[in-house]
Structure 1
Amino acid sequence: MLTFYTNPMSRGRMIRWMLEELEEPYETVVLGYGADMNAPGYLALNPMGKVPTVVLGETVVTEVAAICTWLAQKFPEKGLMAQDSASFYRWMFFAAGPLEAAVTNTSFGWKPEGPEQEGRAGYGSFDRVVRTLSGYLGNHDYIADGRFTAADVYVGSQVGWGMRFGSLPETDAFQAYWNRLKDRPALIRANTKDDALI
């Protein structure tokens, strides 16, 4: 059985959604911040001392984008891996790299100044990241295959949370994309479980 290490106030919520989409049995282990996540037993699984982590037998997977992708590939019969793997991987890595970095840096009050810093930052600027993702979603209902995949769990979570907490603007494309995702039964089940834990 899959074992899912999480905290309901973490990125683990994304993996809870993914697991609910799979409808495979899994065990949840809730860890508190601090001592729990830095206990030797857990650090042996995830030396970063953070959640989420998923374990199946001897296999340990960390990092949300990696977990979503691995689960989609581990259970191909669930249909959560895209045939269009180029778009799937492109936007998974975009969300894990440029989007995450741009949102985090902006929330800390730092933004690249001028072309040299924009080049060194890798993502260019927050506005460029938003324009790029919003532009893509303005022309595509989903990340890949024209249907829901694991990439939508990851990218969609970032878009939904970003708009909810004001770290991403509410563009028309972002709102329309999130509206296609927010009422999925698996997401509702996941949120109900995590909200109950809080």
Structure 2
Amino acid sequence: MVSRIEFYTNPQSRGRMARWMLEEVGADYETHILTYNGTMKEPAYLAINPMGKVPTIVHDGKVITECAAICAYLADAFPDAGLAPPPAERAAYYRWLFFGAGPLEASVSNRALGLAVPPERERSIGYGNFAHVMKTLDRHLSESSYIAGEAFTAADVYVGSQILWGVQFGTVEDRPSFRAYADRLSPRPAFIRANELDDDAAASGVSA
């Protein structure tokens, strides 16, 4: 029997990605809502995640941080959910999962902060420039229903979250392939359920 997972999060954080993944695999988990200037920085939580950030999950005494790692871990810990391809077929899965954790997140975050890479320094940055990342992702999603092929995987939870939020809030370019991809993801019951839980937590004020 799989033990209960302890889930540390804040509804106004990347913890929404982790909750979506927890709902996709049908995990039994207990939610701990932490506050940015309060419980995230207290010794009890810093002993679990010294970064003092969320999300974090604890499963069978194992601590997993970083959203991409949480998604990949849960896919493996709950194989019956079918959210990771067989090991011999994981090339695209790993490629795009880590594209999301590297070039995509870095380029979007830097652009949101107004940080532009000088053209002469692009070779020093893993993603080159924002436009190149958008073009690469656009071309791929114009040819593939999901990020790792024709089946939904944990990589879609991670990359898809960034695109869903990015299109909504303008942090990624509003391209037809991104909108079509977002439209394929947003009706998923686990996505809807996770959003409802986080929206309720945010509305209650416990995460302030």
Q: TM-score, normalised by structure 2?
A: 0.93
Partner Cα separation in structure 2 for residue 55 and residue 21 of structure 1: 17
Give the corresponding residue for 1:17: 20
Assess, with a 3 A threshold, how the Cα gap between structure 1 residues 145 and 166 changes in structure 2: closer, same or farther: closer
1:31 counterpart letter in structure 2:
L
Give, in angstroms, the shift of residue 165 of structure 1: 0.6
Asked if 2 retains the 8 angstrom alpha-carbon contact of 1:73 and 1:81, the reply is: yes
Asked if 2 retains the 8 angstrom alpha-carbon contact of 1:82 and 1:145, the reply is: no
Give, in angstroms, the shift of residue 57 of structure 1: 2.0
Give the corresponding residue for 1:59: 62
Give the corresponding residue for 2:129: 125
Give the corresponding residue for 2:113: 108
Partner Cα separation in structure 1 for residue 80 and residue 192 of structure 2: 22
Report SS of the residue matched to 1:45.
coil
Choose which of 146, 150, 153 in structure 2 pairs with 1:142: 146
Give the corresponding residue for 1:161: 165
Give the corresponding residue for 2:206: none
Choose which of 1, 5, 8 in structure 1 pairs with 2:8: 5
1:29 matched to 2:38? The reply is no
Partner Cα separation in structure 2 for residue 37 and residue 24 of structure 1: 23
Q: Structure 1 regions of 5+ residues with no counterpart? A: none
Q: TM-score, normalised by structure 1?
A: 0.97
Equivalence map 1:161-180=2 (5 Å): 161-180=165-184
1:185 matched to 2:189? The reply is yes
| RMSD, aligned CA | 0.9
Partner Cα separation in structure 1 for residue 107 and residue 39 of structure 2: 29
Choose which of 190, 201, 206 in structure 2 pairs with 1:197: 201
Partner Cα separation in structure 2 for residue 108 and residue 144 of structure 1: 29
Report SS of the residue matched to 2:52.
coil
Partner Cα separation in structure 1 for residue 199 and residue 113 of structure 2: 27
Partner Cα separation in structure 2 for residue 99 and residue 45 of structure 1: 27
1:151 matched to 2:155? The reply is yes
Give, in angstroms, the shift of residue 63 of structure 1: 0.1
Give the corresponding residue for 1:87: 92
1:97 counterpart letter in structure 2:
G
Runs of 4+ in 1 over 4 A off after TM superposition: none
Matched residue count:
197
Asked if 2 retains the 8 angstrom alpha-carbon contact of 1:46 and 1:62, the reply is: yes
Asked if 2 retains the 8 angstrom alpha-carbon contact of 1:53 and 1:60, the reply is: yes
Give, in angstroms, the shift of residue 145 of structure 1: 4.1
Partner Cα separation in structure 2 for residue 28 and residue 72 of structure 1: 19
Asked if 2 retains the 8 angstrom alpha-carbon contact of 1:82 and 1:144, the reply is: no
Identity among equivalent positions (%) equals: 53
Partner Cα separation in structure 2 for residue 174 and residue 142 of structure 1: 11
Give, in angstroms, the shift of residue 87 of structure 1: 0.7
1:164 counterpart letter in structure 2:
Q
Asked if 2 retains the 8 angstrom alpha-carbon contact of 1:13 and 1:190, the reply is: yes
Partner Cα separation in structure 2 for residue 69 and residue 131 of structure 1: 25
